[in-house]
Structure 1
Amino acid sequence: MKKTTIKVTSAIALAAMLAWVPAQAQSFKAGFVNTDRILRDANMAKSAQQRLEQEFARREKEMVDMGNSLQSASERFEREAPTLSDSQRTQRQRQLMDQDREFQRKRREFQEDLAARKTEELSQVLERANAVVQQVAESEKYDVILQEAVWINPDYDITDKVIKALNASKR
């Protein structure tokens, strides 16, 4: 009799738990935020991009000018090489190699500096965006907000809400 009572009690407890799980699952609220869209469409991200462009425009122009100068010097050398003496040809080749080495060094420094500044700016945008996501999640009572997904039903995408809130907020 005792085993039967335990089995019945266990069955009742299991049935109660199974009935409870769907009721809880229905109240679960999830959302999704597309970080790439935020970094592309939010005003804060756009202004960060403009700051980077302004900050690096002069150096970028210098790199383009330096590349063009190197290209012109190389083309001039190719045209004049047949008429140059061996020593002149060797000297010009060294000059071109030195110019190219300097160009490559400056280009590498430019790219590293740009990448570092871009990381700084985007991390500030993401930090602010994450704070806004948390505010939206708390105010609308979300249980979870995902930022990475292979596929998401558009009904769960709250990216527009976050961008709108981010644009409305002061930096």
Structure 2
Amino acid sequence: MPTAHTEEIRLAIVNPNRIVEASPQYAAAREALLAEINEREATLIARQDDIDKLQRHLEQNAALMSEDEMQRLRNDIRSRTRRLRYDREELQEDFALRKNELRTRLVKQVEEVVRQLAKEKNIDLILTEGVVYFSKRIDLSDEIIIRLKKEFAQH
């Protein structure tokens, strides 16, 4: 019976960034997220346009307005601007959160494919980042991308 010292140890390398960026899961998730964000951004742009119109109205008609009307309009503009700023910050936070959620979900999927390939190929150790050199012979990234594409096509 061979001992650990005489058995061949099988190593492999994966490039997680390349895998994520080349996966159809990432592309589909990115498109869905961008569509959602673009819709919300369009609403914010429309609200900014409304504020700009109110500001122009105030500037153009200030001479014709009473002091109370001008004050109400200034307060309305200030209030709308504050809400818009808050909603923009919320959109940015939501985008970052959703992006992290999608990436975490994809990372778990990639890790599962890596484990499957490691078992199938009897690989003892798979390394990722921080590797100075590796030959293409031990890089499993392409095989993982192919599996992810197959899984994506099945759903």
The answer to whether TM tops 0.5 is yes
CA contact (8 A) 2:54 2:73 kept: no
Q: 1:31 to 1:106 in 2, by over 3 A?
A: same
Residue 130 (structure 2) pairs with residue 149 (structure 1): yes
Please name the residue that 1:160 is paired with.
142
Residue 115 (structure 2) pairs with residue 134 (structure 1): yes
Displacement of 1:134 in angstroms is 0.8
Displacement of 1:150 in angstroms is 5.7
State the alpha-carbon separation in 1 of the partners of residues 104 and 12 from structure 2: 22
The residue correspondences of 1:50-69 to structure 2 (distance < 5 A) are: 50-69=31-50
Please name the residue that 1:118 is paired with.
99
TM-score by length of 1: 0.67
Show structure 2 runs of 5+ residues with no match.
none
Displacement of 1:62 in angstroms is 0.6
Could you tell me the percent identity over the aligned residues? 23
State the alpha-carbon separation in 1 of the partners of residues 122 and 58 from structure 2: 70
Displacement of 1:87 in angstroms is 6.0
Show structure 1 runs of 5+ residues with no match.
1-19
Q: Tell me which moved more, 115-124 or 37-46.
A: 115-124
Query: How many residue pairs get matched?
Result: 148
Given the alignment, which residue of 3, 6, 10 partners 1:29? 10
Q: Secondary structure at the residue paired with 2:82?
A: helix
Displacement of 1:44 in angstroms is 1.4
TM-score by length of 2: 0.73
Query: Over residues 72-117 of structure 1, what are the superposed CA-to-partner deviations in whole Å (9 max), with x where a residue is unaligned?
Result: 544x278549857776655444333212110011112222333333
RMSD (CA atoms): 3.1
Kindly indicate whether structure 1 or structure 2 has the higher relative contact order, using CA contacts under 8 Å at least 6 residues apart: 2
State the alpha-carbon separation in 1 of the partners of residues 134 and 16 from structure 2: 16
